[in-house]
Structure 1
Amino acid sequence: MTIPVKQINDAELPTQTSSSINFEDVLAETKLGKFNYVVIIVSGLVLATTLIETLGISYVLPVSNCDIMLTTTEKGLIKSIGFIGIIISSHFWGFLADTSGRRKIMAPALFSAFIFAVISSFCTNFWMLIIFRFFTCFFISAGSATIYAYVGEFHCNKLRSKAIMAASTLFGIGATCLPLLPWLILNEKWSIEIDAINITYKPWRLLIIIYAIPDLICSILLWILPESPKFLLSIGKKEETLSVLRTMYSFNTGKSKHDFPVNTLERCFEKNHTIKKLPPSLNPVIKLLKIIQSQTTPLFSIKYLKSTLLASTMQFIIFFTMQGLYVWYPYILNTLNEFEKINPNNSSLICEIMSFKENKIIFNGYQKDSEIKCQEDFEIKTYITSLILEIFYVVGFTVIGFSINIIGKTYILLIILSICGISGLLCNFITSPTISGYFYTILLAGGITVPVVNAATVDLYPTNLRAMAVSISLMFGRLGSVAGSNMVGFLLNVNCRMVFYISGCSLLIAAFFGFFIPKPKENIVI
């Protein structure tokens, strides 16, 4: 005996107008279940790969100096080059994701990032390292912004922000690899001579490859997952959209795909940006630039200008502090721990300790030898404090994920950015190296607000502009990373205290800007 399943025609679904149905209602019919959890997990891993590839180099450079003799300026450039690769490519990847598909762009790009990362582990000089790290992050950029649109478009309005925050929580868990892997690998004392290419393969080179393995895993998983149903609908592929929805429904409910209670999308429409047709004889490069321009221009129209400028400014400020200072985090933290180890009863401000280090003065007041021993590992306490920061990210993302719809994005931004900004200012007044290190860690914790801003951005734009909008805002964020990392490198020697004054005040300004984030329209066509 078979149980009859009621099939819902489009006419039975709640409508926005008499001639179309709301895709949100159709998407809600897929329910929330295993399929969504898989998408969230993969999305979290993709986000983690971006962080690991851009910031993992911070743990590599200090211990690679025995093999690649780099000046402080060269180290600063290598720390910045990953962000530059992301900045240059963000607009390009956002355009491709909005016109060709989310998954179709991310999967091959992440595989390419893995290949370049592996090659970079064999580099023997500054120029080789900077070139291959640039291309590694050029390709990793494809996932950093596109994935927010991808995960959001598998969820209806009610669940979208929570899904993005859930992916960010998993991203935080993955980010714990930043200090954990160096802790496990760098303190090992081994080396392998590779005569064919004249290098000595040491733990820091292996660490680069280990950091890149998630790129390969994400590439494979994205090839397995389907394209975003909202993107497919936006380009008119209604049958493929329905197929994805049926697959989601089957995985989530355990029922047959044929039991999905919607059997047609003929009256379900998705607003899409129509690209103006260009003459076939036009130069291909010029044609591509014109298409990119046509995809970008709407973001700066009167309708979206406020949202675009606000999201971009807030991302610039948050990344300026979060990643701009993080690339120096292992170095500064290790310096504080070295000082405290040698001078357990000595109290000094963080900038005084950094001044001793930068001027090559040993912490007991004597001049260092002319031949400075190269560093091949970190103090254990450095790893532990770094791990505390990553755990804070995991807890923060989890709490925000559960409370974002209750408290609201504006108040979350106000509370977190204010606390982190004040902590940054206090770094200039605390004389305990341990406590100042913890306040420095809290300052960097402001990065947990990045997905909150991204969730707000995703809510404010339609499908055909969403990936480009997030890409542009994150492009400005990466500009902030470059500005922040170079500012720290310069001011550490000139006026260290300004590093914390500027960073703390900037986050307080960003907290204030959160009040001006527009409210998403309830009936926006997603």
Structure 2
Amino acid sequence: MVVNGKLDKNVKNDSSIATLDEAMLLTGFGIYNILHMLLSGLILMGVIMQSLVMGYVMPAAQCDLDLTLPQRGWLSAIPFLAIILTSYFWGWLADTRGRRFVMLFSMMISVGFSVLASLAPDMISFGVLAFCSAVFMSGSSAVVYTYLGEFTNLRHRDKMVAFGSSFVGIGTVVLPAVSWLILPLEFSLPVPFLGIDYRPWRLLIVACTLPFVLGTLFLIIAPESPKFLSASGKSEECLAVLRKIYAVNGRLSEETYPVKTLVSEATSSKSKDTKGLAGILTSMREQTAPLFRSPLLPWTCLTCFVQFGIFATTNGFYIWIPTILNSLANHEGVETRICAVLDASQAKPANGTQIKCDDTMNTATFEMSIYIGLVFCSMYIIVGFLVDFIGKKLILVVLLASTGLCGIAAHHAVSQMLAVGLFAIFQMCGACIGLMNAVTVELFPTKYRAMAVCLSMMMGRVGSMAGSNLIGLFLTINCGASFYLFGSIIIVCALCCLTLPGKNSGPIEKHKTEATQYQTHEPA
């Protein structure tokens, strides 16, 4: 009946035998897919909150851990470093052990290390434990999009991945809201055997693991990906999952699901060619080397540079948003420039800093952070509506150029409200990350497309780590240089985008856009 992954001619029209994609289409679309999207979105929100929580923890923990601004920059970059170092490993483990297994395993251990980090008595132990937590957090970051996409049929897959991606923006709103609830609390519980006082910033670290805790509980009753089960030769288990999806979506009996036999996926010949570590390394080299040869080399350099610049700016500054906004909110006297306020706050004596650490995370800081998150979400929606009408190239050039100019202008603004407004617009360059992924999909041939997107996103994460550290350094020695440097980088990225092909044209033939383009903002 099924030979080398193909149907025998005599049973080709038998509706009880189908490929996985055909079987997925027969499961329909409904409540099961929506619930699964919400589960994946919850996990994705946990990844974002874990990645960005340092921005809110550092201002409150600076006295307990005796942190300088550069040290705060390094600690804030830890999640990005963990993703850079471990993404390939988690991807390999997910392909060999399963998506559900990797997320369950990694989220539980990540939560455990986060709880331990909240009890850390000094900077070194805190950094080590936070890094261990981030290493396992990156497991879910590397797998969640795949897990989401493989539960939805081809007809609705892009849409569901796009909706799942929106939880990135939701996370940037929920994080400051949770911080607003916890950090203004006034309690200090002594823990004698550790020599620490348990203060609100420690509770915030634990609170940001809640999406992972809930995700783990829901994932325990969720099944493995049908795609993984089919590729692993577990056809009966795969059919059981498909029957469940069919029954929930259609409110029908599982026995009425028409597919009884799945066409096996012919992957054996490919696996022989890539057996062992040497085969894996050879395969990676064969997939990567063409990206650095003509005619793809210019596009590789362009996409990597633009993603590096966008990530360095939006994620690098996002880490410091609570510090900047808190300094502006606590500033007394005549209105002046952002950098003048930051320099004045650093010039205060140690006693003043300690008081600030205890209870003066101004509530206006969280309120303005929520507004910035809401504007960020709205920019994703606006770009999504406009892209089909005016094209990705024009949006990239205009949005990057305008946000870069606003970043430079924010340094010169004397009015606090104007400065915050310009700074918020400056952060909107992050909405171009998804567009650049879509551009990368169109620029590269199908064979190298996934590797090109992976490489450009990897450079973006390197940018996040470099940006957060450089900004921390500049805020100490030359605050204005950070706005000039990163504003200029975004403007240069806009100029680079002028070389992109126009709408509906490019060096590669037109093709169907893949779900990869929706893996938008990580500020991760």
- TM-score of the pair, normalised by structure 2: 0.82
Kindly tell me: are residues 415 and 273 of structure 1, through their superposed partners in 2, closer, same or farther at Cα, counting changes over 3 Å? farther
Kindly tell me: are residues 77 and 179 of structure 1, through their superposed partners in 2, closer, same or farther at Cα, counting changes over 3 Å? same
Alignment RMSD: 3.7
Alignment of 1:319 onto 2:311:
yes
Alignment of 1:331 onto 2:323:
yes
Shift of 1:160: 3.1
Alignment of 1:204 onto 2:171:
no
Shift of 1:135: 0.6
Q: Which one of 69, 73, 85 corresponds to residue 72 of structure 1?
A: 69
Once the two structures are superposed, residues 401-459 of structure 1 have per-residue CA deviations (whole angstroms, 9 ceiling, x without a partner) of 66666766556545544443332232233221221112212222333344455567789
Judge conservation of contact 1:117–1:209 (CA < 8 Å) in 2: yes
More displaced 10-residue stretch of structure 1: 180-189 or 458-467 = 458-467
* Aligned residue in 1 for 2:290: 302
Q: Distance in 2 between matches of 1:122 and 1:523?
A: 46
* Aligned residue in 1 for 2:170: 173
Shift of 1:261: 3.7
Kindly tell me: are residues 504 and 54 of structure 1, through their superposed partners in 2, closer, same or farther at Cα, counting changes over 3 Å? same
Once the two structures are superposed, residues 372-403 of structure 1 have per-residue CA deviations (whole angstroms, 9 ceiling, x without a partner) of 33122311211111001222233344455666
Shift of 1:347: 4.0
Secondary structure of residue in 1 paired with 2:262? coil
Q: Distance in 2 between matches of 1:272 and 1:173?
A: 43
Q: Distance in 1 between matches of 2:219 and 2:431?
A: 25
Shift of 1:156: 4.1
Judge conservation of contact 2:316–2:467 (CA < 8 Å) in 1: yes
* Aligned residue in 1 for 2:405: 422
Shift of 1:131: 0.2
More displaced 10-residue stretch of structure 1: 194-203 or 476-485 = 194-203
Judge conservation of contact 1:27–1:155 (CA < 8 Å) in 2: yes
Judge conservation of contact 1:249–1:257 (CA < 8 Å) in 2: yes
Kindly tell me: are residues 520 and 495 of structure 1, through their superposed partners in 2, closer, same or farther at Cα, counting changes over 3 Å? farther
Q: Distance in 2 between matches of 1:277 and 1:203?
A: 51
Amino acid at match of 1:319: F
Shift of 1:122: 0.4
Shift of 1:275: 5.4
Secondary structure of residue in 2 paired with 1:395? helix
Once the two structures are superposed, residues 339-390 of structure 1 have per-residue CA deviations (whole angstroms, 9 ceiling, x without a partner) of 2xx12xx3433233333334x1xxxxxxx44643312231121111100122
Q: Distance in 2 between matches of 1:294 and 1:467?
A: 17
Secondary structure of residue in 1 paired with 2:27? coil
* Aligned residue in 2 for 1:486: 469
Alignment of 1:355 onto 2:343:
yes
Alignment of 1:11 onto 2:27:
no
* Aligned residue in 2 for 1:50: 47
Q: Distance in 1 between matches of 2:207 and 2:149?
A: 29
Kindly tell me: are residues 445 and 353 of structure 1, through their superposed partners in 2, closer, same or farther at Cα, counting changes over 3 Å? same
More displaced 10-residue stretch of structure 1: 327-336 or 257-266 = 257-266
Judge conservation of contact 1:164–1:451 (CA < 8 Å) in 2: no
Q: Which one of 101, 104, 124 corresponds to residue 101 of structure 2?
A: 104
Q: Which one of 347, 353, 357 corresponds to residue 373 of structure 1?
A: 353
Kindly tell me: are residues 260 and 408 of structure 1, through their superposed partners in 2, closer, same or farther at Cα, counting changes over 3 Å? farther
Amino acid at match of 2:353: K
Judge conservation of contact 1:270–1:525 (CA < 8 Å) in 2: no
Shift of 1:118: 0.3
Amino acid at match of 2:352: I
Judge conservation of contact 2:25–2:155 (CA < 8 Å) in 1: no
Amino acid at match of 2:37: I
Kindly tell me: are residues 460 and 241 of structure 1, through their superposed partners in 2, closer, same or farther at Cα, counting changes over 3 Å? farther
Amino acid at match of 1:185: I
Show structure 2 runs of 5+ residues with no match.
1-9, 517-524
Shift of 1:206: 0.9
Query: What is the number of residues matched between the two proteins?
Result: 492
Judge conservation of contact 2:307–2:460 (CA < 8 Å) in 1: yes
* Aligned residue in 1 for 2:6: none
* Aligned residue in 1 for 2:414: 431
Alignment of 1:448 onto 2:431:
yes
* Aligned residue in 2 for 1:521: 511
Secondary structure of residue in 1 paired with 2:412? coil
Residues 214-233 of structure 1: matches in 2 within 5 Å?
214-233=211-230
More displaced 10-residue stretch of structure 1: 305-314 or 48-57 = 305-314
Show structure 1 runs of 5+ residues with no match.
1-8, 15-19, 279-286, 361-367
Shift of 1:273: 4.9
Amino acid at match of 1:293: L
Shift of 1:128: 0.4
Once the two structures are superposed, residues 221-276 of structure 1 have per-residue CA deviations (whole angstroms, 9 ceiling, x without a partner) of 23332233233334444443333332222222212233334333327667995254
Shift of 1:22: 6.9
Judge conservation of contact 1:60–1:207 (CA < 8 Å) in 2: yes
Kindly tell me: are residues 446 and 74 of structure 1, through their superposed partners in 2, closer, same or farther at Cα, counting changes over 3 Å? same
* Aligned residue in 1 for 2:520: none
Q: Distance in 2 between matches of 1:466 and 1:353?
A: 46
Q: Which one of 128, 133, 157 corresponds to residue 130 of structure 2?
A: 133
Q: Distance in 2 between matches of 1:102 and 1:259?
A: 28
Q: Distance in 2 between matches of 1:272 and 1:386?
A: 53
Judge conservation of contact 1:275–1:294 (CA < 8 Å) in 2: no
Once the two structures are superposed, residues 124-157 of structure 1 have per-residue CA deviations (whole angstroms, 9 ceiling, x without a partner) of 1011001001011111111113212222233344
Judge conservation of contact 1:112–1:136 (CA < 8 Å) in 2: yes
Kindly tell me: are residues 76 and 395 of structure 1, through their superposed partners in 2, closer, same or farther at Cα, counting changes over 3 Å? same
* Aligned residue in 1 for 2:91: 94
More displaced 10-residue stretch of structure 1: 403-412 or 392-401 = 403-412
Kindly tell me: are residues 207 and 178 of structure 1, through their superposed partners in 2, closer, same or farther at Cα, counting changes over 3 Å? same
Amino acid at match of 2:190: E
More displaced 10-residue stretch of structure 1: 183-192 or 423-432 = 423-432
Shift of 1:277: 6.2
Percentage of matched positions with identical amino acids: 32
Q: Distance in 2 between matches of 1:463 and 1:274?
A: 20
Q: Distance in 1 between matches of 2:301 and 2:257?
A: 41
